[in-house]
Amino acid sequence: MKNRQILLRVLSYARPHLAYLLLALALALVSVGFSLYVPVLTGQGVDLIVGEGMVDFICLIPILIKLAISVGISALAQWLLGLCTNRVSYLTVRDIRIRAMEVVSDLPLSTIDSTPHGDILSRITTDIDLISEGLLTGFTQAFTGIVTILGTLFFMLELNPGISLVVVLVTPLSLFIASFIAKRSFAYFREQSELRGEMSSMAEEMVTGQRVVKAFNREDACEAAFGEINEKLRVCGIRALFFSSITNPATRFVNGLVYAGVGVFGALAVMGGGLSVGQLSAFLSYANQYTKPFNEISGVLAELQSAIASAGRVFDIIDQPVQSPDPAGATVLTQVDGSVRVEHLSFSYRKETPLLRDLNLGVEPGQRIAIVGPTGCGKTTIINLLMRFYDPDEGRILVSGRDVQQVTRDSLRSMYGMVLQETWLKNGTVFENIAYGKPDARLEEVTAAAKAAHAHSFIQRLPDGYDTLLSEDGGNLSQGQKQLLCIARVMLCLPPMLILDEATSSIDTRTELHIQNAFAELMRGRTSFIVAHRLSTIREADCILVMNKGRVVEMGSHDELINANGFYKKLYMSQFGA
């Protein structure tokens, strides 16, 4: 996306706040108008004090009063202008951030899984903040700068068209210099934003996995890798800063030439009687004010370039294809009987690496289906497809006779309760984490669910019980305790179907027996899919799917599969050898 397109797109987010923009323009007119009136008053005052014994105090006092009023009004208007432009900037950035977060919420899991999480966070936080900084300076300088240039040009032409022509012809050189440098600095600002995202991604990864880093003594290696990225960012930042820092001195040099030219030609005009000393003083002030916006614009070019580069990265996220919407007229599931059919289903995460191929499965209401097999055979993939985290490449899945691609995702997922091997807890109280799927739950319901999950006893031992605040991802709990809270979360919702993906992998054997009994009660009458590596936990399943290399190679009850003396028996004997 080109810089101009990015800038226009940012401004499109400012369009809803047009009232503040118009008010800012009006205030800019007032501020600049009175500031341009000041040199006129100054020139009149100078003409009243030129020459020995020629000071006209009677005429000077009204001019000084007008001068004070003009300066005061100009300052007040400038302050109000800042408030308006700040509001436009913050509201615009707020809308961009909300839109970015909406898109991230709707991104398919395939995009989330393939993009470093730290980079996404960097775009939503750091990059959008940089847009804000660029907008704040850009809006203010654009409003006041344009009005100042036009106003001073008008007054200078009124005073002396010839000298004005010198100013108009020389000043644009500063814009050419600024544009020349900006084109070369943009590439560095873009690279700087990308490296900043890479650094955020690595920092997030290392902090999240700090225990593993320490366990394998990888601190030095991580510091070295981080230092390498940091060094690249330093070099890139210095280059970007160097090129952008050249702009202001170069334009100031051009503007200095303009001021000197006005002084020389103005002095000649005074000696020739074409100008008074006071008018020359006013002309010099106007020349200074005329060149000032060019200086300011060139001075903020670095921030604008950084803001545009950051905006490009944010729009890259916003433009990502979102999850395909539910089809028009999609059915909203309100209740299901628990039957599930999988017909000729094929799926792969990468087209060149097939995973599931021509999978067929029929599940009756209330059945407990266990899915077992070696790592990477496709067990969790089936769960992802049942929940429509991914859609199949071929084939279809039916729940209660309805194709899941013809029902709304929200209603489909509300029919399942899910406990994963990887626990997830949000920053909040124990109560809020258990009630995550049912925010209006009462304390009695949450307590009952915690008791059913055998989590109530350890919750009571926490400093504030159910009101105990958990740190990020439950860092102040053991892995087993976190998993018990996730189980309690599902037991509170009581959905018609269950998915248990290694749901007791981090729980001690004694507690696991209690949990298995609780699950047995919970699964009674509910269709349940159980992914397990410990085959002792699925012996009571109605049907066991044995998978290998993306295919169901065996199917049946535990006893039937043992008697078949096939792949399942080999898996079972590897855990409970002869």
Q: Say how many domains are in the chain.
A: 2
Regarding whether 469 and 558 lie in a shared domain, the answer is yes
At 26 the pLDDT is 87
> Whole domain around residue 533: which residue ranges?
340-575
Strand bridging mode 340-347 / 394-399: antiparallel
**Exposure b/e, 414-433, CB count within 10 A at least 16 = b:** bbbbbbbbebebeeebbbbb
36 with 74: CB under 8 angstroms? no
Q: Looking at the domain assignment, is residue 333 inside a domain?
A: no
What string of DSSP letters covers 18-30? HHHHHHHHHHHHH
Regarding whether 518 and 397 lie in a shared domain, the answer is yes
The whole-angstrom separation of Cα 282 and Cα 296 is 21
What the block records as the tokens of 278 is 């006071």
Higher pLDDT, 119 or 301: 119
Q: Looking at the domain assignment, is residue 545 inside a domain?
A: yes
Once rounded to an integer, what is the mean pLDDT over residues 518-527?
76
Q: Which residues contact 301 (CB under 8 A, 6 or more apart)?
A: 178, 181, 182, 185, 244, 247
| Residue where one domain finishes, among candidates 257, 286, 318 | 318
**Dihedral sign (CA 55, 34, 287, 150):** negative
The whole-angstrom separation of Cα 480 and Cα 455 is 10
Query: pTM above the 0.95 mark?
Result: no
Beta partners for residue 259, in sequence order: none
At 540 the pLDDT is 77
Strand bridging mode 543-548 / 368-372: parallel
Q: Looking at the domain assignment, is residue 14 inside a domain?
A: yes
| Residue where one domain finishes, among candidates 318, 350, 385 | 318
500 with 529: CB under 8 angstroms? yes
Once rounded to an integer, what is the mean pLDDT over residues 121-142?
76
Q: What is the mean pLDDT of the chain?
A: 81
Regarding whether 376 and 280 lie in a shared domain, the answer is no
How does residue 431 score in pLDDT terms, banded at 50, 70 and 90?
very high
Name the phi and psi angles at 545, rounded to 5.
-95, 125
Regarding whether 409 and 349 lie in a shared domain, the answer is yes
Regarding whether 112 and 21 lie in a shared domain, the answer is yes
Name the phi and psi angles at 353, rounded to 5.
-125, 90
Q: Express each pLDDT in 472-504 by its tens digit.
A: 666 678 777 888 888 888 888 888 888 888 766
Comparing CA positions, the residue from 157, 173, 166 lying closest to residue 260 is 166
Q: Looking at the domain assignment, is residue 331 inside a domain?
A: no
Once rounded to an integer, what is the mean pLDDT over residues 124-148?
76
* DSSP state, residue 276: -
How many other C-beta atoms can be found within 10 angstroms of the C-beta atom of residue 160? 19
Q: Looking at the domain assignment, is residue 202 inside a domain?
A: yes
Considering just the CA atoms, what is the radius of gyration of the chain in Å? 35
300 has pLDDT over 70: no
526 has pLDDT over 90: no
Regarding whether 347 and 312 lie in a shared domain, the answer is no
Decide: residue 524, CB within 10 A, 0-12 exposed, 13-18 middle, 19+ buried: exposed
Q: Looking at the domain assignment, is residue 150 inside a domain?
A: yes
**Exposure b/e, 241-266, CB count within 10 A at least 16 = b:** eebbebbbebbbebbebbbebbeebb
Q: Express each pLDDT in 140-196 by its tens digit.
A: 676 777 778 888 888 777 777 877 777 777 777 776 776 777 667 777 777 887 888
Q: Express each pLDDT in 302-334 by its tens digit.
A: 667 778 888 888 888 888 887 788 888 888 888
Regarding whether 349 and 291 lie in a shared domain, the answer is no
565 has pLDDT over 80: yes
Beta partners for residue 342, in sequence order: 361, 397
Comparing CA positions, the residue from 170, 165, 160, 100 lying closest to residue 129 is 100
At 133 the pLDDT is 73
Regarding whether 369 and 243 lie in a shared domain, the answer is no
Q: Looking at the domain assignment, is residue 201 inside a domain?
A: yes
How does residue 73 score in pLDDT terms, banded at 50, 70 and 90?
very high
CATH (domain of 20): 1.20.1560.10
Q: Express each pLDDT in 8-33 by its tens digit.
A: 888 888 888 888 888 888 888 888 88
The whole-angstrom separation of Cα 511 and Cα 455 is 10
Q: Looking at the domain assignment, is residue 126 inside a domain?
A: yes
Regarding whether 307 and 243 lie in a shared domain, the answer is yes
The whole-angstrom separation of Cα 126 and Cα 200 is 10
Q: Express each pLDDT in 76-116 by its tens digit.
A: 988 998 888 888 888 888 888 888 888 888 888 777 777 77
How does residue 136 score in pLDDT terms, banded at 50, 70 and 90?
low
Decide: residue 487, CB within 10 A, 0-12 exposed, 13-18 middle, 19+ buried: buried
521 has pLDDT over 90: no
Q: Express each pLDDT in 387-401 by its tens digit.
A: 888 888 888 999 988
| Residue where one domain finishes, among candidates 318, 350, 383 | 318
Regarding whether 117 and 227 lie in a shared domain, the answer is yes
Regarding whether 360 and 285 lie in a shared domain, the answer is no
Q: Express each pLDDT in 200-215 by its tens digit.
A: 878 877 877 776 777 7
Among the residue ranges 159-168, 368-377, 509-518, 554-563, the one predicted with the least confidence is 509-518
| CA atoms within 13 Å, Cβ hemisphere of 559 | 2
Cα 304 to Cα 7, 96, 238: the distances in Å are: 10, 17, 17
Regarding whether 466 and 401 lie in a shared domain, the answer is yes
CATH (domain of 494): 3.40.50.300
536 has pLDDT over 70: no
